[in-house]
Amino acid sequence: MSRIVLVRHGQASWGKKDYDKLSDLGHEQAKVVGRELTGRDLHPSRVVSGSMRRQRDTAADLVAEAGWETEVAVDDAWDEYAHGAILTAYKPAYRSMTVMKADLARTMRPRRAFDEMYAVATERWVAGEHAADYTEPFTAFGDRVLGGLASVVDDLGQGETAVVVSSAGAISWVAASLIGGGAPVWTQLQRVIANTSLTTLSVGSTGPVLRTFNDTAHLERIPEMLTTR
């Protein structure tokens, strides 16, 4: 039996101009998960990262802390979906950050208002009725991620382990797909997955099977390390 460990990237810079940059806490989370995997006596034959900066930097910190000599392979199949494009397809005026911030400020609860608005924008993307509005429709995103998974499975030898650093949406789609949950389950899973949580798959003759999702035990030992955004 072989296995794949999916790691969500560390905390990115939420609310900052460059969201794709890990926060200081995000770097620390990556180191914590590196120590955790070493403590589990895990020695991967392959480490893969999406191409986004927050994913690549998490992988680099993780590998360095774990002391692995495995080179990190970059595969953009594991990239997250384009949050900004989904939002502006729903509200084109929000191509202007100034306009969006002003609208949200008027609600007197801007963070909650953003979350509610973004949930509607995501539902619109997932529904597929406006696929032409998106460079990457939801179905294309799902196919891309499962293609990345298939590539890892194909390269995995008997008894080997691969570690993949990706994002909430991509990891949640793998989990939802493997349990036959589809888009409704994906929508719920991606809302709860924590930064640098661990999702594990076993791989046998019939293909990958979901074993754990969103394991945060290593983060709960240090409460401030547990974040979802």
pTM of the predicted model over 0.95: no
Q: What mean pLDDT is reported for the chain?
A: 93
Segment among 15-24, 170-179, 194-203 with least mean pLDDT: 15-24
Question: Lowest mean pLDDT: which of 56-65, 112-121, 151-160, 175-184?
Answer: 112-121
DSSP structure string for the chain: -EEEEEEEPPPB-TTSS-TTSBPHHHHHHHHHHHHHHHHTT---SEEEE-SSHHHHHHHHHHHHHHT--PPEEE-GGGPPP-HHHHHHHH-GGGGSHHHHHHHHHTTT-HHHHHHHHHHHHHHHHHH-TTGGG-SS-HHHHHHHHHHHHHHHHHTPPTT-EEEEEE-HHHHHHHHHHHTT-HHHHHHHHHHHPPTT-EEEEEEETTEEEEEEEEE-HHHHTSGGG----
Candidates 3.40.50.1240, 3.30.9.10, 3.10.129.10, 3.40.50.620; correct CATH number of 2-80+136-225? 3.40.50.1240
Q: Parse the chain into domains and list their residue ranges.
A: 2-80+136-225, 83-133
